[in-house]
């Protein structure tokens, strides 16, 4: 089965990990600083805080924002559940706003309608790698004394109006899961220009520990002393994995270029298929295509999906509207709330998309799609 996403690991990556394994530091060492500096530089952000997953990075963002009971987070339903879950675990109320029918990204007008005086964070997702309308969402957040968080799990390497993702929002989270645009096996990062947010995120990921004597309540306790002022967790990404990330980052441009090439080949072959819509990127967006979200007629989606799987094509559906998960259903969230996102979901099939796909693989997928659409 051809997978829908897959890591690209080369000898340099293996050598980087091997070097880290032989060094004095398996974790909390210099590879962490090096990786964070590289991420900050690549995304044009002042601060980068690494974490053990994209989910952890989202959790850091909501912790840094101080999200808690009584607060509301406005977000998109067309995402992996973690975008909402990591705020819900802090006791926040999740308010889902509908998406743009062309991109599947949070619609700024819908987000505006969902904002209340309790809104603390507006969280958009760069679906498939297409950057959200960051200027509008950031302005909306600022007007309402809230923060704009960009879940960029799909979009490291993407740009909007020439600016890299990571420099568009108050906070941006990345995932380095193997299917994403670059990998550390499990891993993630939060980037921001705001030093205070970065400090709070850094503290939360390391048990809430305060080691700076000037900030401690009892600095004279002794040289061993450390204090916790607010609760935290251990989300530290080890040196071994940071070394892999730094090595991968050097090939990000070539990954993005190959993804764009595959997108072009798919587009050309599938644009004129009856009832089928190819992925759309608005003016000014330069996506690092994480997914290739094809849309087919809703009533035939399941048959087409099953035909593709039978033909050995590892397609996927991204995503079940987040509030369809029973955990939200049990809280009273109803199907039908965000009809555009639901329609998008009902028609969506993600085709294989990763740099290691050969031209022959791509042709095989195209043939299989043509057959499935014609016969299923």
Ligand X SMILES: *Cc1c(COP(=O)(O)O)cnc(C)c1O
For residues 149 and 304, which CB has a smaller minimum distance to ligand X in the complex? 149
Distance of alpha carbon 100 from alpha carbon 116, whole angstroms: 21
Coil, helix or strand for 190?
strand
Q: Which residue is nearest to ligand X (CB)?
A: 54
* Secondary structure class of 173 (helix, strand, coil): strand
The least distance separating ligand X from the CB of residue 175, rounded to whole angstroms, comes to: 3
Residue 283 DSSP code: T
Q: With respect to ligand X, which residue has the nearer C-beta, 103 or 175?
A: 175
Structure tokens at 92: 């926040």
- Please identify, using beta-carbon distances, which residue of 83 and 316 lies nearer to ligand X: 83
Q: Could you give the C-alpha distances from 128 to 16, 302, 303, in angstroms and in order?
A: 29, 21, 23
CB of 154 to ligand X, least distance (A): 6
Q: Please report how close the Cβ of residue 128 comes to ligand X at its closest, in angstroms.
A: 10
Instruction: Kindly report the number of other CB atoms within 10 A of residue 85's CB atom.
Output: 17
Is 334 one of the annotated active-site residues of the chain?
no
Instruction: Give the alpha-carbon dihedral of 22, 26, 30, 34, to 10 degrees.
Output: 100
Cβ contact 48:172 at 8 Å: no
Helix axes 359-375, 301-310, angle to 10 degrees: 130
Q: SS3 for 268?
A: helix
Closest approach, Cβ 282 to ligand X, in A, equals 19
Nearer to ligand X, 59 or 138 (CB): 59
Please say whether the beta carbons of 68 and 194 come within 8 A.
no
Point out which residues bind ligand X (CB under 6 A). 53-55, 79-80, 82-83, 125, 151, 153-154, 175, 177, 188
Decide whether 84 or 372 has the Cβ nearer to ligand X.
Answer: 84
Token readout for 306 is: 């099953």
What sign does the dihedral 10-15-18-20 (CA atoms) show? negative
Can you tell me the distance from the alpha carbon of 170 to that of 284, in angstroms, rounded to the nearest whole number?
Answer: 20
Cβ–Cβ under 8 Å, residues 194 and 167: no
Q: Smaller CB distance to ligand X: residue 53 or 103?
A: 53
- Of 135, 159, 141, 136, the residue nearest 43 (C-alpha): 159
Pick the catalytic residue: 93, 102, 163, 180? Answer: 180
We find the least distance from the C-beta atom of residue 176 to ligand X, in angstroms, to be: 7
CB-wise, 16 or 241, nearer to ligand X? 241
Give the C-alpha separation, 41 to 47, whole Å: 9
- Cβ 318 to ligand X shortest distance, Å: 8
Nearest approach, Cβ of 186 to ligand X (angstroms)?
6
Helix (H) / strand (E) element for 149: namely strand 147-151
- Which residues form the catalytic set? 180
């Amino acid at each position: 089965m051809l997978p829908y996403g897959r890591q690209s690991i080369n000898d340099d990556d293996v050598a980087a990990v091997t070097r880290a394994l032989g060094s004095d530091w398996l974790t909390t060492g210099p590879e962490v600083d090096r990786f964070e500096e590289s991420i900050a530089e690549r995304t044009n952000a002042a601060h980068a805080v690494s974490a053990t997953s994209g989910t952890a990075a989202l959790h850091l963002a909501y912790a840094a924002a101080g999200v808690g009971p009584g607060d509301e987070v406005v977000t998109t339903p067309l995402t992996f559940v973690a975008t909402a879950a990591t705020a819900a675990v802090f006791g926040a109320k999740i308010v889902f706003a509908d998406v743009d029918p062309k991109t599947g990204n949070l619609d700024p007008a819908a987000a505006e309608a969902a904002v209340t005086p309790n809104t603390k964070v507006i969280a958009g997702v760069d679906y498939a790698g297409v950057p959200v309308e960051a200027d509008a969402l950031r302005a909306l957040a600022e007007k309402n004394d809230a923060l704009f968080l960009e879940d960029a799990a799909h979009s490291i390497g993407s740009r909007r109006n020439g600016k890299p993702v990571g420099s568009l929002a108050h906070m941006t989270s990345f995932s380095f899961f193997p299917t994403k645009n670059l990998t550390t096996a499990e891993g993630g990062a939060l980037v921001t220009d705001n030093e205070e947010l970065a400090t709070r995120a850094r503290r939360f990921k390391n048990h809430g520990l305060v080691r700076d004597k000037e900030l401690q309540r009892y600095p004279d306790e002794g040289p061993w002393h450390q204090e916790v002022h607010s609760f935290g967790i251990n989300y530290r990404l080890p040196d071994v994995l940071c070394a892999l990330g730094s090595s991968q980052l050097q090939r990000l441009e070539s990954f993005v270029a190959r993804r764009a090439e595959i997108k072009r080949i798919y587009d050309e072959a599938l644009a004129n298929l009856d009832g089928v819509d190819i992925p759309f990127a608005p003016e000014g967006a330069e996506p690092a295509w994480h997914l290739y979200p094809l849309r087919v007629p809703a009533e035939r989606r399941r048959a087409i999906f099953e035909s593709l799987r039978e033909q050995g094509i590892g397609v996927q559906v991204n995503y079940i509207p987040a509030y369809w998960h029973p955990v939200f259903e049990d809280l009273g969230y109803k199907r039908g709330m965000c009809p555009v996102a639901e329609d998008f979901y009902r028609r969506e099939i993600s085709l294989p998309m990763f740099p290691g796909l050969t031209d022959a693989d791509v042709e095989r997928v195209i043939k299989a799609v043509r057959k499935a659409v014609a016969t299923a």
